[in-house]
């Protein structure tokens, strides 16, 4: 489709999102990046973060829990460890995960810091994205 980009977001839990969008932006391991249709091919790692896309007047937000993005001129495939559209984020679950991670980090003994910090980061960003939902 002219001036559109097929965006597909897949996780081990299934197909999370697929649509033709005008543009999208995400948190790459080397920094934030934006993609328009016709972009030169590239491959990048993805951090825990937010992917946002525009389709007409609509802006959508998707939580991405690390992964990779492969971009070719008319298509982008995101492979994430887990991902949810803003409207699918369970805020209570994210808050509970945040609390668990914070309590583990406070104890500061015999815990896997990297794991607790990642969990806290996921929960924090899920909560922020859930507040956005889809804007039309």
Footprint of ligand ATP on this chain (CB under 6 A)?
Answer: 13, 65, 82, 84, 88-90, 93-94, 97, 119, 122, 126
Least distance CB 101 / ligand ATP (angstroms)? 8
In the complex, the smallest distance separating the C-beta of residue 22 from ligand ATP, rounded to whole angstroms, is 25
Q: How far is the CB of 97 from ligand ATP (least distance, A)?
A: 4
What is the rounded distance in angstroms from the CA atom of residue 82 to the CA atom of residue 11? 5
Q: Which of 93, 92, 115 is nearest to 104 (CA)?
A: 115
Q: Toward ligand ATP, which CB reaches closer, 71 or 98? A: 98
- CA-CA distance, 49 to 125, in Å (whole number)? 6
Q: Are 28 and 45 in contact (CB under 8 A)?
A: yes
How near is the Cβ of 85 to ligand ATP at its closest, in Å?
Answer: 9
Residue 69, φ and ψ in degrees, nearest 5: -130, 130
């Amino acid at each position: 489709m002219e001036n559109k980009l097929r965006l597909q977001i897949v996780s081990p839990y299934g197909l999370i999102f697929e649509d033709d969008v005008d543009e999208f932006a995400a948190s790459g391991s080397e920094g934030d990046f934006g993609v328009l249709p016709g972009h030169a091919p590239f491959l990048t790692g993805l951090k825990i973060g937010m992917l946002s896309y525009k389709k007409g007047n609509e802006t959508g937000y998707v939580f991405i829990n690390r992964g990779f993005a492969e971009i070719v001129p008319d298509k982008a495939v995101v492979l994430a460890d887990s991902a949810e559209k803003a409207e699918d984020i369970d805020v209570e679950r994210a808050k509970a995960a945040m609390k668990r991670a914070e309590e583990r980090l406070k104890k500061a003994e015999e815990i896997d810091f990297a794991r607790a910090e990642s969990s806290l980061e996921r929960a924090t960003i899920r909560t922020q994205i859930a507040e956005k939902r889809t804007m039309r």
